[in-house]
């Protein structure tokens, strides 16, 4: 019996080639999209899951709760670790680390920049990475020791047996290799290729309570209650920290660090998990659209198989066997589509990896992968074939064989409902493409309050820190260079936060946290930041090393209407505000512009030279900067970055989402159109004789096309009406993640509707025109 069912299924596929192609190709597209998204989601949720004792590892955030305003930051004050390590019994190990740094590593003649971190000695007790050589407990005990990855060991020494060997770090310190650890997986939130004891670079400012510049991680003892541990940690900090410090420890499970990076007050609010949810929903949408195509075409063509069902029932076939037969046919189609989908996935995975900037692999030995493919095939086959199977098996044999079969309006209404559902999803995805695309354009084109174009920057390292001003002046001695300045932070991503700002008349209960950065002379001029009042730092004013510049947000926080000339106390002691800058975006558009204070300082905390080239002379400027840099700092390779490229990297996640939603949205529309094409072809086939009679009676091509298209057009209009409010709500919620964003307007939804109507009409008209141009004699000669 099963063999017979299989033969019939294969014959049916070959007999109806167009509809078989639409079903298989449409399902394959839907399944391949779903598989690619599944691979991406699987990679996203795998972050940090490989660490031993993961359930006890926590990221220690810096929380604050002041006058009803709450929040949680990533950076914590330096003294926290020492205080918590001694007085919190629930802590098994705790470490603080710097943000990643690229520093020069030299072994013999080989020298390149490598990415690494400085961390306190208990780092490998918190993050228990596999070691190839050396003792994890002693790997970074000494400030003269360095632990390196397998990649660096093989790159510089040719093998991993390198403990005891020497390399030169940052062209300044000879470090002894104390251990070699396995390469850190790509799906780790803490990634590095070298690690050195924190004390090797510790300075006095790193010990200030008011300076939050480090990340802190803790491992709790097994079985410890994180809520109780957090409570104890808060009490310890409150006891030992200065009274004006308003921040306190807030524990976040390491399992959530990557996916839940955003906080609403003191609670996890989202982050990349939002994109995981979005694309999981998109995968379901696309698969449903493909399944709807199958259901629609199968039920529409049920009249073609009605007599087969009637004959089978007369000779004794039970309903359940007919259901099994038609579900079996659906599963065969689904299996063929799954095979084609696998070919699509394998072929397009390299391109997909390039778009999402990941290293996703199609691991044929992964049982979870094959379980997912089999599950996807079964679910797709059952969903797509369930209604057609039940519908066909319920037909009455007597009426069928007497030729009096009539199909109820239920089937027609269902097909129309499925088309509406299908195109509602498509309209929603079109709206998503438009809104996300416009928000990304807005981010790229909105005036930031500074000019990121024509600005390059180079790291200040080696001998450059000892002769900064001479180096800057030489750089500016070129007609291709407009201005240059030094800074301790990239201007579009100033992360440093301090609570050390004080001024006369300050309310001691006021949260005085400000963003802060060390900068050199001509900072505002180089970055094209408008000065509202006062002036930029200048070498003509020797006292500027004790003066400050603030932005408008800082003036509002301090309630100073005319701050220039007023006295404040900050990192360099008591000084005068000499300039008031217009607010500019010092972080991403997700955050509001924060109070900012600039400190004129030349020293170890000055990390970059920012150079603005004359428009059209960037190549000459780069060549000049390279020549001067090599002369001043011959032991370091020259490398540079553009500020606008760095700015774009801040929005890499959003850009990837923009690209993915665009591609998957287009594919969803294509799949929808495949189904619409099949229905239009079937409708035209069913009404062949009607069209012939109308043409004989004088109907023109335009009239016939309108006749066949108007019903589909009504369904698309209903889809637009249903999809619009849902899309409006969800897109509005997405935009709320940005402190600065576009406004949703009816124009966006009108464009989405116009696109959907145009695509649908084009698809339907293709078949309608073909039917309208057919010779009526051929369609009527059988009458």
Q: In this predicted structure, what is the pLDDT of residue 467?
A: 83
Q: Read off the pLDDT band of 646 (50, 70, 90).
A: confident
Alpha-carbon span 46 to 42, nearest angstrom: 6
Q: Say yes or no to pLDDT of 15 above 80.
A: no
Q: Read off the pLDDT band of 288 (50, 70, 90).
A: confident
Q: Say yes or no to pLDDT of 529 above 80.
A: yes
Q: Read off the pLDDT band of 20 (50, 70, 90).
A: confident
Dihedral, CA atoms, 500, 501, 504, 510, nearest 10 degrees? -90
pLDDT in tens, 353-363: 888 888 888 87
> Phi, psi at residue 781, to the nearest 5°?
-65, -20
Provide the 10 A C-beta neighbour count for residue 239: 9
Q: Read off the pLDDT band of 550 (50, 70, 90).
A: very high
Provide the 10 A C-beta neighbour count for residue 764: 26
Alpha-carbon span 587 to 580, nearest angstrom: 19
Q: Which residue has the higher pLDDT, 404 or 675?
A: 675
- Of 20-29, 316-325, 419-428, 429-438, give the lowest mean pLDDT range: 316-325
Alpha-carbon span 253 to 219, nearest angstrom: 10
Residue 176 near residue 146, CB atoms below 8 Å: yes
Mean pLDDT score of the chain: 83
Q: Which residue has the higher pLDDT, 71 or 529?
A: 529
Q: Say yes or no to pLDDT of 775 above 80.
A: no
pLDDT in tens, 726-754: 999 989 888 888 888 888 888 899 998 88
Average pLDDT over residues 517-545: 91
Q: Which of 589, 518, 512, 524 is nearest to 551 (CA)?
A: 524
Classify residue 182 by its DSSP letter: P
Angle at 357 between CA 355 and CA 359, to 5 degrees: 115
Q: Say yes or no to pLDDT of 702 above 70.
A: no
Q: Which residue has the higher pLDDT, 537 or 687?
A: 537
The count of C-alpha atoms lying within 13 angstroms of the C-alpha of 292, restricted to the half-sphere facing its C-beta, is 27
Q: Per-residue b/e over 619-645, b at no fewer than 16 CB within 10 Å? A: eebbebbeebbeebbeebeeeeebbee
The count of C-alpha atoms lying within 13 angstroms of the C-alpha of 291, restricted to the half-sphere facing its C-beta, is 24
Q: Read off the pLDDT band of 692 (50, 70, 90).
A: low
pLDDT in tens, 33-73: 888 988 999 999 999 999 999 999 999 999 887 656 677 88
The count of C-alpha atoms lying within 13 angstroms of the C-alpha of 198, restricted to the half-sphere facing its C-beta, is 23
In this structure, what token pair is assigned to residue 469?
Answer: 């001003």
Give the three-state DSSP class for 176: strand
Q: Say yes or no to pLDDT of 408 above 60.
A: no
Q: Say yes or no to pLDDT of 300 above 90.
A: no
Q: What is the enclosing helix (H) or strand (E) of 540?
A: none
Q: Which residue has the higher pLDDT, 317 or 61?
A: 61
pLDDT in tens, 470-507: 898 999 999 999 999 999 888 888 877 787 888 888 87
Q: In this predicted structure, what is the pLDDT of residue 158?
A: 92
- Of 217-221, 411-415, 542-546, 659-663, give the lowest mean pLDDT range: 411-415
Give the three-state DSSP class for 72: strand
Classify residue 637 by its DSSP letter: -
Q: Read off the pLDDT band of 684 (50, 70, 90).
A: low
Classify residue 98 by its DSSP letter: P
Provide the 10 A C-beta neighbour count for residue 600: 25
Q: Say yes or no to pLDDT of 393 above 70.
A: no
Q: How far is CA 558 from CA 65, 209, 341, 514, 517, in A?
A: 19, 21, 61, 11, 18
Q: Which of 128, 127, 104, 99 is nearest to 114 (CA)?
A: 104
Place of tokens 């020791």: 145
Q: In this predicted structure, what is the pLDDT of residue 740?
A: 85
Q: In this predicted structure, what is the pLDDT of residue 693?
A: 65
Provide the 10 A C-beta neighbour count for residue 573: 7
Average pLDDT over residues 198-215: 86
Q: In this predicted structure, what is the pLDDT of residue 79?
A: 92
Average pLDDT over residues 523-546: 90
**Distance from the first to the final alpha carbon of the chain:** 39
Q: Read off the pLDDT band of 150 (50, 70, 90).
A: very high
Q: Which residue has the higher pLDDT, 254 or 336?
A: 254
Residue 147 near residue 179, CB atoms below 8 Å: yes
In this structure, what token pair is assigned to residue 531?
Answer: 């000065």
Q: Read off the pLDDT band of 319 (50, 70, 90).
A: low
Alpha-carbon span 737 to 589, nearest angstrom: 9
Range with top average pLDDT, 144-153, 163-172, 500-509, 676-685: 144-153
Average pLDDT over residues 96-111: 91
Alpha-carbon span 183 to 369, nearest angstrom: 25
Place of tokens 């000339």: 565
Provide the 10 A C-beta neighbour count for residue 771: 22
Q: In this predicted structure, what is the pLDDT of residue 582?
A: 94
The model's pTM = 0.76
């Amino acid at each position: 019996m099963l063999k017979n069912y299989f033969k019939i299924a294969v014959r049916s596929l070959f007999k109806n080639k167009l509809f078989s192609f639409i079903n298989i190709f449409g399902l394959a597209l839907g399944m391949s999209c779903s598989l690619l998204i599944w691979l991406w989601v699987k990679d996203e949720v795998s972050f940090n899951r490989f660490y031993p004792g993961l359930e006890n590892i926590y990221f220690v955030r810096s929380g604050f709760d002041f006058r009803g305003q709450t929040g949680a930051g990533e950076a914590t004050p330096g003294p926290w670790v020492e205080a918590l390590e001694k007085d919190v019994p629930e802590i098994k190990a705790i470490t603080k680390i710097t943000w990643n740094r690229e520093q020069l590593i030299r072994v013999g003649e080989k020298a390149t920049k490598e990415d690494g971190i400085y961390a306190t000695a208990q780092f490998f007790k918190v993050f228990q990475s596999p070691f190839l050589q050396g003792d994890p407990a002693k790997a970074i005990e000494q400030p003269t020791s360095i632990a390196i990855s397998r990649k660096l060991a093989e790159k510089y020494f040719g093998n991993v047996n390198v403990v005891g060997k020497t390399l030169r770090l940052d062209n300044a310190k000879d470090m002894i290799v104390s251990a070699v650890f396995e390469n850190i997986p790509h799906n780790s939130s803490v990634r590095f290729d070298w690690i050195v004891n924190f004390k090797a670079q510790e300075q006095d400012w790193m010990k200030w309570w008011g300076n939050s510049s480090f990340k802190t991680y803790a491992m709790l003892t097994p079985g410890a209650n994180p809520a109780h541990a957090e409570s104890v940690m808060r009490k310890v900090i409150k006891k030992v920290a200065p009274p004006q410090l308003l921040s306190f420890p807030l524990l976040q499970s390491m399992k959530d660090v990557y996916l839940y990076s955003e906080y609403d007050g003191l609670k996890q609010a989202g982050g990349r998990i939002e994109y995981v949810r979005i694309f999981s929903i998109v995968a379901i949408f696309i698969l449903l659209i493909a399944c709807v195509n199958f259901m629609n075409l199968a039920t529409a063509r049920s009249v073609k198989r009605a007599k087969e069902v009637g004959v089978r029932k007369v000779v004794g076939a039970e309903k359940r066997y007919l259901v099994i037969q038609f579900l079996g046919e659906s599963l065969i189609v689904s299996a063929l589509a799954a095979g084609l989908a696998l070919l699509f996935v394998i072929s397009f995975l390299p391109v997909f990896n390039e778009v999402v900037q990941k290293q996703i692999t199609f691991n044929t030995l992964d049982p979870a992968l094959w379980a997912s493919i089999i599950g996807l095939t079964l679910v797709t086959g059952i969903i797509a074939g369930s209604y057609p199977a039940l519908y066909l098996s319920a037909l009455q044999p007597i009426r069928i064989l007497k030729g009096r079969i009539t199909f109820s309006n239920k089937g027609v209404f269902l097909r129309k409902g499925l088309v509406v559902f299908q195109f509602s999803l498509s309209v929603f995805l079109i709206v998503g493409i438009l809104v996300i695309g416009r928000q990304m354009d807005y981010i790229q084109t909105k005036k930031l309050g500074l000019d990121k174009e024509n600005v390059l920057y180079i790291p200040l390292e080696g001998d450059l820190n000892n002769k900064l001003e001479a180096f800057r002046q030489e750089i500016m001695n070129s007609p291709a260079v407009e201005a240059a300045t030094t800074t301790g932070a990239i201007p579009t991503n100033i992360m440093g936060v301090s609570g050390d700002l004080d001024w006369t008349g300050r309310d001691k209960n006021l949260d005085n946290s400000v963003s802060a950065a060390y900068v050199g002379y001509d900072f505002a001029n180089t970055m094209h930041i408008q000065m509202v009042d006062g002036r930029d730092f200048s070498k003509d004013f020797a006292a500027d090393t004790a003066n400050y510049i603030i932005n408008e947000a800082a003036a509002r926080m301090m309630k100073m209407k005319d701050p220039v000339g007023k006295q404040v106390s900050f990192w360099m002691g008591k000084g005068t505000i000499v300039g008031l800058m217009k607010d500019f975006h010092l972080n991403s558009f997700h955050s509001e512009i924060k109070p900012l204070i600039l400190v004129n300082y030349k020293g170890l905390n000055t990390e970059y030279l920012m150079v603005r080239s004359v428009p059209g002379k960037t190549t000459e400027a780069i060549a000049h900067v390279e020549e001067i840099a090599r002369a001043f700092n011959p032991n370091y390779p020259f490398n540079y970055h553009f500020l606008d490229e760095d700015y774009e990297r801040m929005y890499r996640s959003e850009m990837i989402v923009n690209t993915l939603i665009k591609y998957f949205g287009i594919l969803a529309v294509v799949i929808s159109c495949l189904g619409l094409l099949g229905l239009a072809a079937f409708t035209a086939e069913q009404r062949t004789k009607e069209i012939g009679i109308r043409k004989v009676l004088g109907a023109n091509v335009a009239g016939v096309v309108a006749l066949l298209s108007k019903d589909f057009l009504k369904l698309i209009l209903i889809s637009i009406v249903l999809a619009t409010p849902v899309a409006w709500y969800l897109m509005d919620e997405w935009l709320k993640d940005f402190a600065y964003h576009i406004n949703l307007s009816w124009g966006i939804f009108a464009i989405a509707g116009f696109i959907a109507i145009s695509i649908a009409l084009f698809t339907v008209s293709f078949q309608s025109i073909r039917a309208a141009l057919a010779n009526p004699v051929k369609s009527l000669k059988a009458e």
